Amino acid sequence: MTKQRSRMISVRIKKGYDLNIAGRPSMETETAAPPARVAALPERIPFVRPKLRVKAGDRVKVGSVLFVDKRNPEIKFLSPGGGRIEKIDLGPRRVIREIVVVLDADETHEGFDTVSEAALDGIDRDELVRRLVDGGLWPLIRALPFRDIAGPKDVPPAVIVSIGNSQPFHPQPEIYLKDKADLFKFGLKAIRRLADGNVQVSISGSRPQLQTDLDGFITHRTIGRHPANDPGVLLYHTKKSAVENRTWFIDGQDLLLIAALLKTGRYPTERTVVVAGSRALEKKHLRTRLGAPLADLVKGDIRKGDSRLIAGGVLTGYSTEPETYLGFYETALALVPLGDAREFLAFVRPGINKPTYSRTFLSALSRADLEMNCNLHGGLRACIACGHCMDVCPVEILPQLTYKCILAGEVEESLEHGLLDCVECGLCSYVCPSKIELFDTLKTAKAAYYKEIS
Amino acid sequence: MQVIKNIFNSQRAHFSAGGRFEKYYPFFEAMETIFFAPADTTAGGPHVRDSLDVKRYMTIVIAVLIPPLLFGIYNAGYQSRLAAGLSPDFTAVFSRGLWIVLPLVLVSYAVGFFWEILFAVKRKHAISEGLFVTAMLFPLTLPPTTPLWQAALGISFGIVIGKELFGGTGRNFLNPALTGRAFLFFAYPGNMSGDAVWTVISGAKDAVVDTFSGATPLALAALTENGSVAAALSKAGYSFARLFWGLYPDSIGASSALLCLVGAVILMVMGIANYRIIAGDVLGVLCTGFLLNLAASECSSPYLLLNPFYHLVMGGAAFGIAFMTTDPVSAPDMNSAKWIYGFMIGALTVLIRVFNPAFPEGIMLAILFMNLFAPLLDSIVVRLKLKKRVPNV
């Protein structure tokens, strides 16, 4: 392997905010029991318009095509398990929610072409793209600013590989990269072919173990509060010209899947996820597989009705049910209290245990972890220009003003305000005392603009 | 607690959709949320939210206004009994003060709440807690002799013209409490300025003791023609210390610079008031005062030579700086604009006081004037900020 020695660039991000939420996972890792069924959740993949390629009762192998994207039928999504399609769950307006596969005791795998490390240097770029597309892992590579699946025919200005998601309760890279440094480097080599060598590998903060294991391969170190290591944040703070706006990105753990696909010729399904949150009985890292049933992973009183199960992070994830499965992109599961009780005289309490960004509760004196629930903690009010949202925005958008642009229908002005730089971290909504849905408004406006131009 | 909960639960049906008083739901919501926080949970991401809400935000402002209110009550009673030649016995003074001030506060709240409910019902939004701050600030800026009907008129003007006409809370570009006061100031100057309005004199006029003079420090300062202003003030009994502590005739809540300072510090520590505005204000007052010192010549008014710190403790400057300039809605949003906004308010206050004989006090007009410029300052700063972004379209 050619050793790439390069100086690591430190990027300091001044804004952002780390939630002091209780219920963090331990660094302990456990292998989850093998599931009886797995599923794909087309509904949870942003922008994709799924077109089914299987029907209930069909037999599939690990890696058989389940559905493709109508917008570009080249983009395939493969079966995370081998067995029989038990059911295809359609929601309202025939949204495809789940494609459930009952696993055979002895799963069979589709075969894909393997690439040796030596061959990777000389492989044709189009050929590599074709293998990733056919291997079902192309959707792991996404393009900024809209975070849709990258265009297989496009050449990106750069690719950012993000190691370490700082949103609460996400897998620690030290765990998923353990003993996999070589596989990771193999994956990097492949990604480098995609971007003409222009690949940035960023880690969050100080991670001595990784800095040793991946010595010379890490190009950027992001220092700062969440979401400092988000690819969009890194791009915002390093970009010099508008050409770079269409940079691609991939998560560190996902890069391992790509490497495994190319190396083994099998559709890889291994996933390290975190189960955490103050209501989860066991808060730790779990080695499981794509599409595993959530009920197998999360232990706790999930069905009692006073907790919420969140997939994909407490800030940006979606609320889900234990009866469903692990999505394609999600690696974090959190069980937090619902908090739907009416609290007596909440607004005059000293608030020693009330988490807040502001300095208006006694809890501001300490940074200790506090239990957070899903209560809004207040009613919707008009913006009072407190400025908290712009104090936390990691990409220096002025969220309250951008929000007003959007509400006034001024699309051009909102773009000028940097709407497309929004990394959809959700901090603006988190801190808003008026409980304005800034995050949702900005995200929706961004997606609407994307639909209009594509 | 359960009793209160039951009361609300039993009435909820009437105010909910389909109920008899459906229209008045904002009233129900305002009453209920005083006792119980809403049970609403997040509909989507972010699933967890900060514990701070506007209710607490505004409650903290009201809480720091309580000391100036209490002191204002005492001071109004004290000045009134002093003028009448009665003993400054604490209970008597305080009850006298209550008799003067409480009706003004109650009228302000009742009338303000009426307008807020009317607009909330009409526009179908929740009652904003900002009202409770406005209705508290307004009476504190009035002379104790203000007739109740004028207070009602003033708060009405402030809420309706100063706020609701422009879309309600969050959209007002003027400070509503000051808008109301400015209305009274120009509509009824006889009741809002001069030497007679700052002390309630009850009973027969001849009961007034001979030594009583109603002149405020600001009026004295403006009228001083020979000698130093500080000497003239101290001759009238207004030493710097007394001006700082606040026991002298002035607007109800504004006289004590000490309590305004305490309030400002609490608000800044809690992050409710922006320190940039307050620092800008103070710098503006001091720099302008100091420049006037330098510019003064022999033939100019001795007011120019006044130690600039006097401007901070006299009249309503401290109150305006602590509680009026820091209203986030009528101030600029951008941090750098806040410095300019504050500085200009401070500078204008001193300039109006010193150079405009028609207005002994300048802070009200300075704040309202800079309220008008806040959007322009924001616009300039935002433009500069956006220029620095790498375009992304």
DSSP B46-84: S-S--S--HHHHHHHHHHHHHHHHHHHHHHHHHHHHHHT
Is residue B137 pLDDT above 50, yes or no?
Answer: yes
Q: Pick the last residue of a domain from A264, A291, A307.
A: A264
Residue-wise pLDDT tens digits, A120-149: 888 899 999 999 999 999 999 999 999 999
Q: Let me know if residue A162 belongs to a domain.
A: yes
CB-nearest partner of B270 from A339, A359, A430: A359
Measured in angstroms, the CA of B35 and the nearest CA of chain A are apart by 5
pLDDT tens for chain A, 454 residues long, are 444 455 789 999 999 999 999 999 999 899 999 999 999 999 999 999 999 999 999 999 999 999 999 999 999 999 999 999 999 999 888 899 999 999 999 999 999 999 988 888 888 999 999 999 999 999 999 999 999 999 999 999 999 999 999 999 999 999 999 999 999 999 999 999 998 889 999 998 888 888 888 888 999 999 999 999 999 999 999 999 999 999 999 999 999 999 999 999 999 999 999 999 999 988 999 999 999 999 999 887 676 778 999 999 999 999 999 899 999 999 999 999 998 888 888 778 888 899 999 999 999 998 899 999 999 999 899 999 999 999 999 999 999 999 999 999 999 999 999 999 999 999 999 999 999 999 999 999 999 999 999 8
Q: Domain range spanning residue A193?
A: 10-19+114-264
CB-nearest partner of B50 from A314, A356, A383: A356
Please, what's the b/e burial string for A45-58 (b: 16 or more CB within 10 A of its CB; e: otherwise)? beebebebbbeeee
Q: What pLDDT does A3 receive?
A: 46
Checking DSSP bridges between strand A248-251 and strand A220-224, what pairing results, if any? unpaired
Judged on CB neighbours under 10 Å (0-12, 13-18, 19+), A261 is buried
Cβ of B5 within 8 Å of Cβ of A377? The answer is no
Same domain, A256 and A389: no
Q: Let me know if residue A414 belongs to a domain.
A: yes
| Extents of the domains making up chain B | 2-35, 54-205, 215-248+256-388
> What chain B residue is nearest to A399 in terms of C-alpha separation?
B333
Any chain B CB within 8 A of the CB of A378? yes
pTM of the complete model: 0.92
Cβ of A308 within 8 Å of Cβ of B47? The answer is yes
Helix/strand/coil percent split, chain A, to 5: 30, 25, 50
Cβ of B45 within 8 Å of Cβ of A317? The answer is yes
> What chain A residue is nearest to B331 in terms of C-alpha separation?
A385
Q: What pLDDT does A1 receive?
A: 40
Residue B303's closest CA among B362, B241, B255? B362
Q: Let me know if residue A233 belongs to a domain.
A: yes
Q: Pick the last residue of a domain from A249, A264, A279.
A: A264
Q: What pLDDT does A265 receive?
A: 94
Same domain, A124 and A251: yes
No. of helices (H) and no. of strands (E), chain B: 17, 0
Tokens of B101: 């001030």
- Chain A CB contacts of B328 under 8 Å are 384-387
Q: How many domains does chain A have?
A: 2
**Average pLDDT score over residue span B131-146:** 94
Q: What pLDDT does B190 receive?
A: 85
Cβ of A374 within 8 Å of Cβ of B129? The answer is no
**ipTM of predicted assembly, 2 dp:** 0.92
- Chain B CB contacts of A418 under 8 Å are 386, 389, 392
DSSP B266-316: HHHHTTSS-HHHHHHHHHHHHHHHHHHHHH--TTS-GGGGS-HHHHHHSTT
CB A406 within 8 Å of CB A440: no
Checking DSSP bridges between strand A220-224 and strand A9-13, what pairing results, if any? parallel
Residue-wise pLDDT tens digits, B192-223: 887 778 888 765 445 555 555 667 888 888 88
Residue A141's closest CA among A248, A224, A62, A46? A248
Same domain, A131 and A259: yes
